[in-house]
Structure 1
Amino acid sequence: MSAENELLLIMERISDLTATDAEIAQFNAWCDGFKAQEIQVENFDAVSERVLLQVHRRINKKPNVFLPLYMKLGAAVAVAVFIFSVWFFSSRVKSIEEIRYAADIAPGRTGATLTLGSGKKVNIGLATAGDLAMESGVKISKNASGDIIYTIMPDNKVTADAVNTLETSRGQQTQVQLPDGSRIFLNAASSLTYPASFANKKERRISLSGEGYFEIAKDKAHPFIVDTRGQELKVLGTHFNINAYSTEAVSKTTLLEGSIVVSTATSQQILTPGTELINNGSSLQVKQVDTELAIAWKNNLFLFDNEELGTIMRQVERWYDVEVIFVDGISKERFGGGVSRFDSVSKLLKSLQATGKVQFQIKGRKIYVTK
């Protein structure tokens, strides 16, 4: 391809916001060369006419009626107009990244909705720090960090009837400390159902939908059981992560400390630290993993290692509360790297786009993905 045709092609892509970072850098380098008169283009009159026409069409959105007059003024003026037009266009090009991500989206935040046994709903994000409710002899409060704390009150008779549900929407995360001292971190678009108190119960049973990280207080006499997506996890005291979103093809249970017995209707597996159980609905698979990847979200990170783009973008949807649209179909490309979950979405997208494998454009709360 000739230099002039390549230049026009890149200008076309830049105007349509589909140019790669490499193409933008190449165009800007060309502009600097033209201004320094270090780059020569064959058939300059013809080239400058074509480029000028493209410039005027793209910048003014219509053909410029004065274009033929430029060309009648001779090569010297044509060169000057050409260089000025390329410079003018390049000044727009340097801000393409800002245009592409002009509608940047802020990250999620701490928040949740707590539904008490009475049916009362409490918006945790809007509630001020302090006591939220008293139920079944248990005080429910919120600390300065936004965590929910359950405390058994010594002067109250504890009952075990009330069931609470803690739900995060897309763009929210929270954490809760149960009356037994167990701490649970709840990721976006997830829910946790549990009794307000484990008093007079032989086991500590809760249910999870979505993703949660668990730090379970040891109590050999009262096993901690988590029901989630067709499986049951039984623990005495341990640290583990469960990813059981209905939008994912499989559920994953990752063990960091202690041991877990995972049971389904047809099989059972025992996990040891550093292993992950994958449940696809019909079989269980256990493998060694880097546990830091599984709990990156809990540590406020997006962290990927050879992860498919579809999986990454579903995380983006949940945390940034956006809709992701794959214009060319879901890519099977895999990516590695990481950014803070406190960053705006554009930083994550730019890090993925820097690989040259994928392009993004934000429009409102929709993210368009192209190859």
Structure 2
Amino acid sequence: MEERKIEILLNKYLQGTATAKERTAVEEWYLKFKETERPEITDTFVESSTDRIWQRLEAQFDLPEQTTTIPLHRRISTWAAAAAIVLVALAGLFYHYSNGSIAERPGLANQSDVAPGGNKAILTLANGKKISLNDAENGALAQQAGISISKTADGQLVYEPKALDKELSPKEISYNTVETPRGGQYQISLPDGTKVRLNAASSLSYPATFAGQDQRMVQLTGEAYFEVAKDKQHPFTVKSKGQEITVLGTHFNVNAYADEPAVKTALLEGSVKISAGTVAVVIRPGQQASLKNGNINIEEVNTSVMADWKAGKFRFKNEPLASILRRVSRWYDVEIVYSPGFKDMPTFTGSVSRFDNVSAVLKMLEETSDVKFSIEGKTIKVQ
């Protein structure tokens, strides 16, 4: 097997640079494989795409979500069938792609299509230097305040504490920012062990080290999923669009986009305190707090739906069309245009993979309503 060709093709697809024919090859064989035999693929190759492959498995087969990043080859003992799916799909993918036996899959109404987003982000260091994480080589990127900053093969930005020469004071702290574009996402591992997944069109500002600080404070715009490392002596605080979230160690999702009518915080594990002006509430797992016009409303929710993007899905539960299309716009980096006189805003319940082309999402919406879509380049027209 020409393993290198498979790796190049898969990486192009995951990063959104594959041609239409290459995307078709990946998608068709991902969906239509048969478990026949297990090819020989090295651990290095498998690990290089493990996080994104596992997200695809979660999205396609509704597998339980993992709370830690575990190399795929180590998961085989527990998820043997799922791992075999990936390996067999890759073998079939290479064979049929190299022999040109897969036809182009037509998009919505035989029109142009738009590929999904991928791992794309810009890291801005304290000195103002900007690093394109999708272009940077894997390995060490920089060092700040005794912290080693590196990019891993599975698309993560990792901050690893080293020995400090002295205790740092707050004024000496170096602040970094990671920004994802429309059509991008990225995962960051902070020096305290906290993991943050940034959704499209989002940014996170944070200290390169938490040494010398009474609390761990970060600033968020957009959407992120947090897995906060426990540290009772140093609370973790997230500032976002008029509110502060304070935790000791927990898992939660924050949606704080500027174009959304409310800031939504959904809790999956632990407890969090949300403060906005003079108002403060504490929510428990399975609840979501919505901040709007200075008021905080708490409701019971399906948290897997609220953090669907982390598992590689679009999930809708009685969600208005306008809300769905805002998400589509950010992830596929497209403009949404409503036809003159369009007023009907139906709600939808359903699920579709975020790794499908945009036509798959639109087709699902069309099949369950009278709404029609057309794709013209990077513009989606709603009729």
TM-score tier (shorter): 0.7 to 0.9
Separation in 2, partners of 1:111, 1:367: 22
Partner of 1:211: 223
Q: CA deviation at 1:331?
A: 3.3
Q: Tell me if the contact between 1:138 and 1:158 (Cα under 8 Å) persists in the aligned partners.
A: no
Partner of 1:346: 359
Local SS of the residue matching 1:317: helix
Alignment pair present for 1:363 and 2:376 = yes
Q: Which amino acid aligns with 2:144?
A: E
Separation in 1, partners of 2:153, 2:274: 36
Q: CA deviation at 1:235?
A: 0.2
Q: CA deviation at 1:137?
A: 1.0
Residue 122 (structure 1) aligned to one of 122, 131, 147 = 131
Alignment pair present for 1:194 and 2:206 = yes
Local SS of the residue matching 1:144: coil
Partner of 2:250: 238
Q: CA deviation at 1:354?
A: 0.6
Is the deviation greater in 102-111 or in 153-162?
153-162
Local SS of the residue matching 1:248: coil
Separation in 2, partners of 1:261, 1:270: 4
For residues 58-111 of structure 1, the C-alpha deviation after alignment (integer angstroms, 9 at most, x for no partner) is xxxxxxxxxxxxxxxxxxxxxxxxxxxxxxxxxxxxxxx757342100000001
Q: CA deviation at 1:282?
A: 2.2
Q: Which amino acid aligns with 2:301?
A: V
Q: CA deviation at 1:202?
A: 0.3
Coordinate RMSD, CA, aligned: 1.5
Partner of 2:118: 109
Q: Tell me if the contact between 1:361 and 1:368 (Cα under 8 Å) persists in the aligned partners.
A: yes
Alignment pair present for 1:333 and 2:346 = yes
Distance change (3 Å), C-alpha of 1:271 and 1:101: farther
Local SS of the residue matching 2:305: helix
Q: TM-score scaled to structure 1, two decimals?
A: 0.72
Separation in 2, partners of 1:224, 1:337: 34
Distance change (3 Å), C-alpha of 1:144 and 1:202: same
Q: CA deviation at 1:157?
A: 5.0
Separation in 1, partners of 2:316, 2:137: 35
Distance change (3 Å), C-alpha of 1:98 and 1:250: closer
Structure 2's unaligned 5+ residue stretches are 1-105
Q: Tell me if the contact between 1:177 and 1:183 (Cα under 8 Å) persists in the aligned partners.
A: yes
Local SS of the residue matching 2:278: coil
Alignment pair present for 1:251 and 2:260 = no
Local SS of the residue matching 1:316: helix
Q: Tell me if the contact between 2:262 and 2:290 (Cα under 8 Å) persists in the aligned partners.
A: yes
Partner of 1:54: none
* Aligned length in residues: 275
Partner of 1:52: none
Partner of 2:298: 286
Partner of 2:324: 312
For residues 179-226 of structure 1, the C-alpha deviation after alignment (integer angstroms, 9 at most, x for no partner) is 000000000000000000000100000110000000000000000001
Q: Tell me if the contact between 1:233 and 1:262 (Cα under 8 Å) persists in the aligned partners.
A: yes
* More RCO (CA 8 Å, sep 6+): 2
Q: CA deviation at 1:117?
A: 0.1
Q: Tell me if the contact between 1:101 and 1:346 (Cα under 8 Å) persists in the aligned partners.
A: no
Q: Tell me if the contact between 1:195 and 1:206 (Cα under 8 Å) persists in the aligned partners.
A: yes
Separation in 2, partners of 1:98, 1:234: 45
Q: Which amino acid aligns with 2:156?
A: D
Alignment pair present for 1:144 and 2:146 = no
Q: Which amino acid aligns with 2:224?
A: G
Q: Tell me if the contact between 2:108 and 2:375 (Cα under 8 Å) persists in the aligned partners.
A: no
Distance change (3 Å), C-alpha of 1:280 and 1:101: farther
Q: Aligned ranges for residues 33-112 of structure 1 at < 5 Å?
A: 100-112=109-121
Separation in 2, partners of 1:193, 1:330: 39
Q: CA deviation at 1:279?
A: 0.5
For residues 256-295 of structure 1, the C-alpha deviation after alignment (integer angstroms, 9 at most, x for no partner) is 1111010011211001111000111221100110000111
Separation in 2, partners of 1:114, 1:151: 16
Q: Which amino acid aligns with 2:237?
A: I
Distance change (3 Å), C-alpha of 1:101 and 1:136: farther
* Identity rate, percent: 45
